Amino acid sequence: MRNETEPKRVKGSGVRFAYETLRDEILSLHLQPGAVLDETSLAERFSMSRSPVREALIRLAGDELVVTLSNRSTVVAPIDVQSFPKYVEALDVAQRMNTRLAAELRTDIDLKTIARRQKEFVATVQRGDHLAMSEANKAFHMAIAHAGRNPYLAAFYERLLNQGRRMLHLHFAYLEQGNEGVLLTDEHDEMLAAIRDRDVARADALAHAHTRQFRDNFMSYLSKNYLQNAPLASLGPAA
């Protein structure tokens, strides 16, 4: 029988707990791409039935963080390096358009929100918490997107930012290896300044450079850590 002194979970909290725990472990690469996620093992780990674990895996599949194979086993979704150049092309378009619109349409309230998100991002950089950094980075860029007043472009941008969070984790690791973490905070400050000045052209150029830096650093990280025996040409042309 259940121990009466054990606190009862609020209905639905089991799903949320399993989902958030697995999501964070996938985004931080604690769970590597291709890792098998067995419902029974996870249910034992979380001390819950398989039903909330299954629901959590369904939510993760909706986030494109896990995939179900033909044999019905669930694995952590691979990072598709071959598609990376196309991903960066889409990210560049979304980042530039949302940042341009923010520079044109932002309000004083928007500026305060973006500045607050930037301050929060700087704090995570100082702590060196990569998972928190990727979440704060997304919050900063989405504050810019919301200032652009186009919900369709913002939604497209958010999807791309979500898809890229594991790659961004490796990007942070690359910057940390070279002690260049400050570069990211400087770029954000410059983007905020361009938006504050309503300088649409500069906001566009900074957003493009921001994407290009992410692309170059990510590919350099792969080359140094995973692709020593494989030519970079196999990744396809850079966007």
What are 151-202's pLDDT values in tens digits? Answer: 999 999 999 999 999 998 887 877 777 655 445 788 999 999 999 999 999 9
CB atoms within 10 A of CB 3: 6
What are 73-109's pLDDT values in tens digits? Answer: 999 999 888 899 999 999 999 999 999 999 999 999 9
DSSP string of 77-120, one letter each residue: PP--GGGHHHHHHHHHHHHHHHHHHHHHH--HHHHHHHHHHHHH
Query: H/E/C letters for each residue in 20-59?
Result: HHHHHHHHCCCCCCCCEECHHHHHHHHCCCHHHHHHHHHH
Average per-residue pLDDT in the chain?
87
CA dist., res. 137 & res. 143, Å (int): 10
Q: What is the pTM of this model?
A: 0.83
Tokens read off for 92: 């560049």
Half-sphere exposure of 217 (CA within 13 A, CB side): 23
